């Protein structure tokens, strides 16, 4: 057992201090920079909202650029990568909002399930060498690899349930050794590949993995945001998603943020955990697409007006 096996996460309510005129919607992507500033990539009028570690508002940018915010990550190159599944692009920005690179043609999707970039791409990751991986999930079943300058290198994957096949690749991460982790959402697993797209392993014991983060260091753990069950036949079944789980490489659940009460709006509860990021202290930030998914999770309840929901969890040890 490593020390991180014993870590627990405590909700930090009322952490964020947003100005009255900054109204968030669906915090689909979340990222943390080297100074522990938190970037909220959301579907409101202010697409990228930046807070410091104390939750104080710093700035907002990205106005008028995005169609549907989906994924965000900050690479070791100090740039932020934002995936827009509404206009089929991945954009790379400096942290002050200067556009540096666009991959994909805005508003020009690849054909459905063509294995070509992009058809409603979902997330991105940077390899230790600076190569860019993009998961392409809603209209494709593929992972695409690009050189740092945006040149397409190759793609892999097809629809299915076997090794190297996908049923909505929704999130992607790289660890320090270059292994590629893909949240294969509707196959209820995380698949692990080498840098050439060769299947190596899979991590199970999860329900509809949507958000994904990898802990630093050797033998990393997967931190997985699990969606609730949406089907009428099982949406009321307990112990299915609406939680964040921590799993080791052998698919063992070593930690979980789950109040045991199912989906909800209380601290430590989730409606639809969609994005996860860690800061240098090990604290965790979780963004949700609560507005979009509300009726799927709560089909008989009216949706609240404001659901730009995200939470901070402080890492503690018992």
Q: Is the pLDDT of residue 80 over 80?
A: yes
pLDDT of residue 67: 98
Averaged pLDDT for residues 276-282: 96
Peptide linkage before 135 cis (omega within 30 of 0): no
CB atoms within 10 A of CB 70: 30
Q: Which domains does the chain have, with CATH numbers?
A: 3-316 (2.120.10.30)
pLDDT confidence tier of residue 282, bands split at 50, 70 and 90: very high
- Interval 277-283 mean pLDDT: 96
Q: Residue 250 has what pLDDT?
A: 96
Distances (CA, A) of 303 to 128, 137, 203, 265, 297: 42, 27, 34, 12, 10
What's the CA gap between 147 and 197, in Å, rounded? 14
Q: What is the mean pLDDT of residues 229-254?
A: 94
Residue 104 CA to residue 308 CA, distance in Å, equals 28
Residue 218: the pLDDT is 86
From the list 213, 87, 197, the residue with the least C-alpha distance to 146 is: 197
pLDDT of 1 strictly over 60: no
């Amino acid at each position: 057992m490593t020390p991180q096996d014993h870590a627990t996460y405590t909700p930090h309510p009322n952490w964020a201090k947003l100005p009255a005129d900054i109204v968030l919607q669906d915090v689909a992507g979340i990222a943390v920079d080297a100074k522990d500033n938190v970037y909220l990539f959301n579907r409101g009028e202010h697409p990228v909202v930046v807070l410091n570690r104390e939750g104080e508002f710093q700035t907002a940018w990205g106005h008028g650029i995005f169609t549907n915010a989906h994924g965000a990550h900050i690479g070791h190159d100090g740039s932020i990568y934002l995936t827009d599944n509404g206009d089929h692009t991945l954009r790379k920005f400096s942290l002050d909002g200067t556009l540096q690179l666009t991959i994909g043609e805005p508003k020009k999707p690849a054909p459905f399930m063509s294995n070509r970039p992009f058809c409603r791409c979902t997330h991105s990751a940077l390899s230790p060498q600076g190569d860019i991986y993009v998961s392409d999930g809603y209209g494709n079943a593929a992972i695409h690899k690009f050189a740092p300058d945006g040149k397409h290198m190759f793609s892999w994957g097809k629809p299915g349930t076997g090794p190297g096949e996908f049923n909505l690749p929704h999130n992607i991460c790289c660890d320090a050794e270059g292994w590629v982790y893909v949240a294969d959402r509707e196959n209820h697993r995380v698949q692990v590949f080498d840098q050439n797209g060769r299947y190596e392993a899979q991590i199970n014991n999860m329900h509809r993995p949507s958000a994904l983060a990898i802990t630093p260091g050797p033998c990393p753990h997967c931190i997985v945001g699990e969606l609730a069950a949406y089907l009428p036949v099982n949406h009321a079944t307990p112990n299915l998603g609406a939680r964040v789980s921590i799993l080791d490489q052998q698919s063992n659940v070593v930690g979980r943020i789950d109040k045991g009460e199912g989906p909800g709006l209380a601290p430590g509860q989730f409606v639809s955990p969609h994005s996860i990021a860690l800061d240098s202290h090990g604290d965790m930030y979780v963004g949700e697409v609560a507005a979009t998914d509300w009726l799927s999770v709560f089909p008989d309840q009216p949706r609240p007006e404001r659901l730009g929901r995200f939470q901070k969890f402080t890492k503690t040890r018992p």
